[in-house]
Amino acid sequence: MSEQKLRIAFIGTGVMGGPMAGHLVKTGHVVTVYNRTRAKADAWAEQYGGKAAATPGEAAKDADVVLSCVGNDDDLAQVTLGRDGAFKAMKAGALFVDHTTVSARIARQLSVEAEGLGLLSLDAPVSGGESGAQAGTLSIMCGGSAAAFAAAEPVMRAYAGRIVHIGGPGAGQTTKMVNQIAIAGVIQGVSEALRFAQVSGLDTDKVFEAVSGGAAASWQMVNRWGTMAKGEFDFGFAVDWMRKDLGLALEESRANGAVLPVAALVDQFYADLQAMGHGRRDTSVLVERLPK
Amino acid sequence: MSEQKLRIAFIGTGVMGGPMAGHLVKTGHVVTVYNRTRAKADAWAEQYGGKAAATPGEAAKDADVVLSCVGNDDDLAQVTLGRDGAFKAMKAGALFVDHTTVSARIARQLSVEAEGLGLLSLDAPVSGGESGAQAGTLSIMCGGSAAAFAAAEPVMRAYAGRIVHIGGPGAGQTTKMVNQIAIAGVIQGVSEALRFAQVSGLDTDKVFEAVSGGAAASWQMVNRWGTMAKGEFDFGFAVDWMRKDLGLALEESRANGAVLPVAALVDQFYADLQAMGHGRRDTSVLVERLPK
């Protein structure tokens, strides 16, 4: 499928979806985008040489593949099942792939709806952030049928490094939650460690040299210790997005029975940080809650 | 100094000190050991071809370098300052290096005592565990004067990979605390993430493949996810040792003002695990507190 020129609709041309859809154009597909703010869709079309549609349905009509990367559950329901949504416009046998981080519940619901319409569907949240979307090196966690995964995988290669088929509908979303739960503990651990070093009067560069190669090592420590030590947070993955993701995990934990003491606590710390005006700053701003 | 054949005393031939002292013999030094349980010192001497002494003072007499790796603050005070302790027996200008993980307070106290006796001294806790001690690849975090570090570094090369001079007396110990604080957050994050994956019915191998290469990655995830998923904990770094180390960090936080919400919480979780009989199991047993 990757060598085939496909008709693709991409719904949501934000900081993630914009460059992802751009990679699809570069790969040789014919791409039509939809964005709630029409001007953004037009700007995307001009930048990448694709087309812009007035509604999700218009973009999805005649498309072989419809992809979405929007804001949340409500946005996703709107662009798929809402008035002028994509699902009713799609042709039988077409493929729907959602890259939004949403609840497992809506992912499963869309899978059922898609099946009823004779569509293939996949929940496929991504990690790797804005820089991963731009570089085309995202990691994608997929939930859905083997047939849907087989159809989607070569298309997603345009903007992904790692693509893993985890399981049935919703499994992509629950795996993304696993990822964010782990990150919450790691960033808080790194934050407490760094602040402890600072209030102890230690040279944080030397401490990093000593502790970053062993059992305390993490991506967060390697990539954020230096900026956290300098108090730099205006980049990366925003607190507001992390709160949304932790909210999804905590919601899902009421269904699956998982106990998440530290993820729940860190979610509250992030609520503090939002109230302190840090909502748009990188998640590593967690260290700023700790006295120095 | 590394090419010189030194007279070295090593106090404490446990699972860490035993192999560390053994590496010193292999490097060509003349090593005399002391252990509270005399039979262990004799067994060490037979295995490695060194000598065993009846008291720390006897081992330390005439030594160029005295190293220790014992259990805790009280043990360390006993073998250095106690009756038949090393300090009074050491010759002026000799070097004392402590590898025990202890409080920053006793590290600073020993530095003052050593200075008064005309000795060089270094606090030099290690990380890397039993396997690192055996392989001679420990990481060592050092606090003390530049002169003490310069004298100790070539000796410690016998059993270390990474050796970092962090700062003055106590800085090695506070850096070790930084390391353990970070680990506490990371292991709890990995534990919650893994259990969430399990109760969601996900294939944990596939989840690992999807999340272990990005922002959620950590040494603990890479090295413990698989064993945690299988419920294997009879190896590694024991809960009892971690509780001791977190206790030191929490004690120090009352002095330096650090706030450690997750380290304090995880310390309590480890107390649960001790009560459940898991004290000798690897720290990754933290996942067993979470329902599945």
Q: What is the DSSP string of A160-205?
A: EEEEEEEESTTHHHHHHHHHHHHHHHHHHHHHHHHHHHHHTT--HH
Interatomic CA distance for residues B281 and A71, integer angstroms: 44
Q: What is the distance of C-alpha B88 from the center of its chain? A: 25
Asked whether residue B149 is domain-assigned, the answer is yes
Domain boundary residue among B118, B147, B168? B168
Strands A7-11 and A65-68, sheet pairing? parallel
Same domain, A130 and A239: no
Asked whether residue B194 is domain-assigned, the answer is yes
Residues from chain B that touch A171, judged by Cβ atoms under 8 A, are: 200, 202
Interatomic CA distance for residues B178 and B252, integer angstroms: 11
Same domain, A51 and A151: yes
- Measured CA to CA in angstroms, residue A102 lies from A59, A173, B32 at distances of 22, 7, 64
pLDDT the model gives residue A230: 98
pLDDT in tens, B181-225: 999 999 999 999 999 999 999 999 999 999 999 999 999 999 999
Same domain, A147 and A241: no
Same domain, B179 and B164: no
Of the pLDDT bands very low, low, confident and very high (cuts 50, 70, 90), residue B51 is very high
Residue numbers of the domain that contains B115: 7-168
Closest by alpha carbon to B10, among B49, B54, B60, B48?
Answer: B60
Asked whether residue B234 is domain-assigned, the answer is yes
Residues from chain A that touch B122, judged by Cβ atoms under 8 A, are: none
Nearest to A216 among B179, B269, B291 (CB): B179
For A237, the closest chain B residue by CA position comes to B215
Asked whether residue A115 is domain-assigned, the answer is yes
Asked whether residue A2 is domain-assigned, the answer is no
Interatomic CA distance for residues A96 and A65, integer angstroms: 6
Q: Give me the residue label for tokens 């956290």.
A: A228
Asked whether residue B233 is domain-assigned, the answer is yes
For A104, the closest chain B residue by CA position comes to B200
Asked whether residue B1 is domain-assigned, the answer is no
For A258, the closest chain B residue by CA position comes to B196
CA terminus-to-terminus distance, chain B: 55
Q: What is the average pLDDT score of chain B?
A: 97
Closest by alpha carbon to A252, among B206, B209, B199?
Answer: B199
Nearest to A202 among B167, B201, B218 (CB): B167
Q: Which residues of B178-189 are buried (b: 16+ CB within 10 A; e: fewer)?
A: bbbbbbbbbbbb
pLDDT (average), residues B53-75: 98
pLDDT the model gives residue A3: 64
**Residue B10 has what DSSP assignment?**
E
Residues from chain B that touch A223, judged by Cβ atoms under 8 A, are: 215
Give the gap in angstroms from C-alpha B5 to the nearest C-alpha of chain A.
Answer: 28
Give the gap in angstroms from C-alpha B182 to the nearest C-alpha of chain A.
Answer: 4
Same domain, A138 and A235: no
pLDDT (average), residues B111-126: 98
- Backbone angles phi and psi of A14, in degrees to 5: -80, -155
Same domain, B33 and B78: yes
**What is the ipTM score, two decimals?**
0.96
Same domain, B135 and B268: no
pLDDT the model gives residue A1: 44
Catalytic pick among A5, A88, A91, A176: A176
Nearest to B182 among A184, A216, A253 (CB): A216
Asked whether residue B2 is domain-assigned, the answer is no
Same domain, A25 and A160: yes
pLDDT the model gives residue A4: 81
pLDDT the model gives residue B197: 98
Same domain, B186 and B274: yes
Nearest to A185 among B189, B210, B249 (CB): B189
Strands A30-34 and A7-11, sheet pairing? parallel
The CATH number of whichever domain residue A54 belongs to comes to 3.40.50.720
Same domain, A163 and A229: no
How many A/B residue pairs have CB atoms within 8 Å? 274
B5's tokens: 């054949």
Task: Give the residue from B126, B188, B204, B266 with the most A CB atoms within 10 Å of its CB, the best one to mutate.
Answer: B188
For A142, the closest chain B residue by CA position comes to B210
B159's tokens: 């059993």
- Burial group, residue A192, by CB count within 10 angstroms (0-12, 13-18, 19+): buried
Domain boundary residue among B134, B168, B202? B168
For B129, the closest chain A residue by CA position comes to A215
Task: Give the residue from A105, A126, A173, A211 with the most B CB atoms within 10 Å of its CB, the best one to mutate.
Answer: A211
The greatest distance separating any two alpha carbons of chain A, rounded to the nearest whole angstrom, comes to 65
Task: Give the residue from A165, A176, A200 with the most B CB atoms within 10 Å of its CB, the best one to mutate.
Answer: A200
The CATH number of whichever domain residue B186 belongs to comes to 1.10.1040.10
Contact yes or no for A175 and B202 at CB 8 A: yes
For A269, the closest chain B residue by CA position comes to B261
Nearest to B262 among A162, A164, A192 (CB): A192
Interatomic CA distance for residues A44 and A53, integer angstroms: 11
Residues from chain A that touch B162, judged by Cβ atoms under 8 A, are: 209-210, 213
Task: Give the residue from A142, A190, A218 with the most B CB atoms within 10 Å of its CB, the best one to mutate.
Answer: A218
Interatomic CA distance for residues A292 and A186, integer angstroms: 20
Same domain, B120 and B15: yes
Strand-pairing partners, residue B10, are B33, B67
Interatomic CA distance for residues B206 and A50, integer angstroms: 35
Contact yes or no for B218 and A249 at CB 8 A: no
List per-residue pLDDT tens for chain A, 292 residues long: 446 899 999 999 999 999 999 999 999 999 999 999 999 999 999 999 999 999 999 999 999 999 999 999 999 999 999 999 999 999 999 999 999 999 999 999 999 999 999 999 999 999 999 999 999 999 999 999 999 999 999 999 999 999 999 999 999 999 999 999 999 999 999 999 999 999 999 999 999 999 999 999 999 999 999 999 999 999 999 999 999 999 999 999 999 999 999 999 999 999 999 999 999 999 999 999 999 9
Domain boundary residue among A146, A168, A190? A168
pLDDT the model gives residue B2: 46
Residues from chain A that touch B290, judged by Cβ atoms under 8 A, are: 258-259
pLDDT the model gives residue A141: 98
Same domain, A187 and A125: no
Catalytic pick among B5, B40, B176, B206: B176
pLDDT the model gives residue B3: 64
Contact yes or no for A210 and B258 at CB 8 A: no
pLDDT the model gives residue A2: 46
Residues from chain A that touch B139, judged by Cβ atoms under 8 A, are: 210-211, 213-214
Number of structural domains found in chain B: 2
pLDDT the model gives residue B88: 97
A176 is catalytic: yes
pLDDT (average), residues B128-150: 96
Contact yes or no for A189 and B182 at CB 8 A: yes
Contact yes or no for A174 and B256 at CB 8 A: no
For B137, the closest chain A residue by CA position comes to A214
Nearest to A127 among B128, B177, B214 (CB): B214
